[in-house]
Structure 1
């Protein structure tokens, strides 16, 4: 059984490269997942406030069935500009759908809100997208976690405002089931708290006071203060993720995997999918390996990998811009 189910580095999944651009001073960044030979794409959107690009073409009934990159970015809606940089660099390298005089790279993108921390006037733009794409295609293939890429300015536990929040971050984990490999990259910027589903313990979230390391149960706090509850600034949170696999999937199958993987948010983030979150999950399937496992098992593997990635994003983060991380508060 150990041979059938194991963990391994996400960079070893064939058909994909991952790169980052980070600005720790400003507290923002972007992460690019490139599929140079194309991949079948899908998406699942559960949050009430998404900032995204090219998600409609991923619907199974639409005709474009090849995606060349997913860009996860900070900068709120301004960060969508980074995807244009990804497109420019991929076109320069001849990666995209042939259309006669050139090629058109299909780049999907989602953004999270990090403008309230660091320097909100700095957002990932065209040059950031170009740099992250070059890092993906020309870099060492390492996949750093924590305060990097789209997770640079990510925070969690914001019901009581920035003073009691904690640092989120970028996480990446991968599992193998037989010959199939499934990985997850997540930028964790949730309104809610983050919990380890294996132990039930809180990893990061809303602290009791600005000087405390104690994480308060946000859901219970919301219920207790229901009569006077005020939510934080609208549409300022989001956990954005990408599942990658070397399995051969149709768009409909990839869509089902994305839908199943959304359970990872419910297992690790409380509350989740709020009106103030733009929670989005992409799936990219390179098709290099014939899928020899049931689709339900694929979805379960994607869910487990995403759970681990969400937890890793918070556990590996370091505090910046005055926002402490688990590493500083709990060692």
Structure 2
């Protein structure tokens, strides 16, 4: 049955406490840049000393940079930052700015006789349907996000790469809700695994702990959560939507010492967290991409433990992304309510 809880008026969104953060992983920093001219922005996850990295792209409409160098058989072992940005393919320019800032700080792979080369893979999400699409993250935004990075707990919700994010667009933007950025961490077996997720999903975000939809498609009157999975199973036909106008992207980090091949497998396992918390997920209209970073400061408890922690951290961070988001009303009159308005 569709959920029937009417919306309430929140004073502020209240994500669950004690969920941890990706910055609980030693050696990881996060910085956001949020563009006040339009809801968009970018987020940088730093590993200044370098981290063994992997990636897994599951969505069918990805926008990425330098993911090929993360293939386990390729030369490069470590990267220095991951950039997540709005703005679709234009937002990939933010990675250039982050790389410039890191070069100025002397961070990067040493190139004899040349200097240091920062390695900064990136992924973007599509937020161009919210506000003026001519405004999107650029190199200056990536530079600012990198300059703002710290090991403190990062802000969540409608900031950075999640500023213009939306969820639940199966039946049109008029019935969608606000997405955002969320983070969480889990510690077990002597290691910590953290995740930072920018959720801009085509489908609903579901809390795995309760099985209830936290944010997503609303009913035609906008007052209740429809439950997209049940609606599709009943035969409802999704509305036409610009291809690729979605995407959930994120970074999973751990202090465990793992190989590049294991980092790739950890990214694969981390997508289980998206499958638990987004429905439908990995669609033809999403470019869902997860990166992994391993700082190698702790002994690995084995891939079974790490994979379990990664999927859990991703699921929690995804739910936090919508629960921390704030309601948005655009200049064009589009109203995107936040999850807190529908919380029981």
- TM-score, length basis structure 1: 0.93
CA distance in 1: counterparts of 2:190 and 2:337, whole angstroms: 40
Counterpart check, 1:191 vs 2:191: no
The match for 1:309 is 317
Q: Residue 294 of structure 1 is aligned with which of 302, 324, 329?
A: 302
- Equivalent-residue separation in structure 2 for 1:223 and 1:28 (angstroms): 33
Query: Which residue is equivalent to 2:114?
Result: 101
Q: Does 1:162 align with 2:162?
A: no
Q: Is the 8 A contact 1:213 1:330 kept in 2?
A: no
- CA distance in 1 between counterparts of 2:52 and 2:40 reads 29
The residue number in structure 2 matching 1:3 is: none
> Shift in Å at residue 80 of structure 1?
0.1
- Identify which of 263, 277, 302 aligns with 2:286: 277
Distance 2:235 2:241 in 1: 14
2:43 aligns with: 31
Paired position in structure 1 for 2:123: 110
Could you state the TM-score of these two structures normalised by the residue count of structure 2?
0.90
The Cα of 1:303 is off from its aligned counterpart by 0.4
Alignment of 1:1-331 (within 5 A): 8-99=20-111, 100-137=113-150, 141-209=152-220, 211-225=221-235, 229-291=238-300, 293-320=301-328, 321=330, 322-330=335-343
1-side partners of 2:21 and 2:66: how far apart?
29
Aligned positions, number: 321
Looking at structure 2, the residues matched to 231 and 271 of structure 1 have their Cα atoms a distance apart, in angstroms, of 16
Tell me by how many angstroms 1:288 deviates: 1.2
Report which stretch shifted further, 213-222 or 81-90. Answer: 213-222
Provide the secondary structure at the position in 2 that maps to 1:107. coil
**CA displacement 1:113-132 (0-9 Å, x = unmatched):** 00000221110001100000
Cα distance, 1:224 vs. partner?
Answer: 3.5
1:6-30 CA distance string (max 9 Å, x none):
9544323211110000124401010
1:8 and 1:176 in contact (8 A); partners too: no
What is the alpha-carbon distance in structure 2 between the residues aligned to residue 268 and residue 89 of structure 1? 35
